[in-house]
Amino acid sequence: MVEAGRVAVLLGGRSAEREISLLSGQGVLAALRSRGVDAMAFDPAERPLDDLTRERVQRVFIALHGRHGEDGTVQGALELLGIPYTGSGVMASAIGIDKCTTKRIWMSHGLPTPAFRIARTEAGVREAAQALGLPMAVKPAREGSSLGFTRMTDPAQATQAFELASRHDGEVLCEQFIIGRELTVAILGQGESAQALPVIEIVAPAGNYDYTNKYFTDDTRYDCPAALPEAVTRRVGEVALQAFKAVGCEGWGRVDIMLRESDAQPFLLEVNTSPGMTSHSLVPMAARAVGLSYEDLCLHLLAGATLKTGGSA
């Protein structure tokens, strides 16, 4: 058992992913308690964060997703409160939630990611389609769980695609759509000790891995480990690790990748610095493939809780 003292599992929050965060947090809470950890649920949407000090919390497990949980804001508050927490720090969290900034960093490191444009109007989406070609992915620049996503295959979809994405963010990412296999790689650790877990292939109905197919149906198939040639598996894992490190991520995360059908070239889509921990989530699935149970995974992540500005648990 991790000697963690009083632990708060942050769950819920105010983002569009609140529902999924509640599921993640409840799973983590049950897992920690089952291993004897003195853990409590803490919803920042219902209580001020400084209540953590009143509760004498000594570590925090962040099970928040999206804005005000995965974007560096909570991480910064915890740094000020002096409470060690799981996952990446302020900078990496803020970068990771912003898909455009993440892609720019990857490009500066010579890592493969689809070409993109940023649109702030419907006309901008149309211009991006002309520049990038169709099909094209249209999505909010700072959102997760495939919220606001459209696979645009016809210029007539520009209005609807922009309206859907802009509900979540004023900046809309228009990205070259890579035809191929959808993969994801979970990563544990940091720096030179970071390790990629087995590659997972996601096979969604009609290739539509949307919010519903991610969390609330059993129609999506997950192949773990993915049925890929050894050299491709190794290359995908290496690219995912490089992507994780380039953003400065710590503790754990998940990197989403498209493997181009024509030549098996991996293209980086995004990094998740606070991935889901629900019954349908992919990091626990990858951990199980290497013999790490959900409960042990939660303990492992909690043991890595730190302050990123020089403090430690």
Phi, psi torsion values for 165, nearest 5 degrees: -70, -40
Is 256 one of the annotated active-site residues of the chain?
yes
| DSSP structure class, residue 241 | H
Task: Say which of 143, 169, 250, 270 is annotated catalytic.
Answer: 270
Is 181 one of the annotated active-site residues of the chain?
no
Cβ atoms within 10 Å of 204's Cβ, excluding its own? 17
| DSSP structure class, residue 192 | G
Task: Say which of 98, 215, 248, 274 is annotated catalytic.
Answer: 215
Is 215 one of the annotated active-site residues of the chain?
yes
Task: Say which of 24, 88, 93, 272 is annotated catalytic.
Answer: 272
Is 85 one of the annotated active-site residues of the chain?
no
Task: Say which of 254, 274, 294, 295 is annotated catalytic.
Answer: 254
Q: Which of 199, 219, 197 is nearest to 287 (CA)?
A: 197
Phi, psi torsion values for 116, nearest 5 degrees: -150, 165
3-state secondary structure of 209: coil
Task: Say which of 15, 88, 145, 274 is annotated catalytic.
Answer: 145
Task: Say which of 70, 71, 143, 256 is annotated catalytic.
Answer: 256
Q: Which of 229, 232, 209, 249 is nearest to 106 (CA)?
A: 249
Is 191 one of the annotated active-site residues of the chain?
no
> What would the two tokens of residue 273 be?
């610095």
Question: Which whole-number Å values give the CA distances from 269 to 227, 239, 308, in the listed order?
Answer: 20, 11, 26
> What would the two tokens of residue 180 be?
């191929």
Q: Which of 28, 34, 100, 95 is nearest to 59 (CA)?
A: 28
> What would the two tokens of residue 90 be?
């302020």
Task: Say which of 25, 96, 251, 276 is annotated catalytic.
Answer: 276
Task: Say which of 12, 17, 175, 253 is annotated catalytic.
Answer: 17
| Dihedral angle of Cα 95, 98, 100, 101, to the nearest 10 degrees | -20
**Cβ–Cβ under 8 Å, residues 223 and 200:** yes
d(CA 52, CA 38): 14
Q: For residue 100, how many C-alpha atoms fall within 13 Å in the half-sphere facing its CB? A: 15
Catalytic site positions: 17, 145, 215, 254, 256, 270, 272, 276
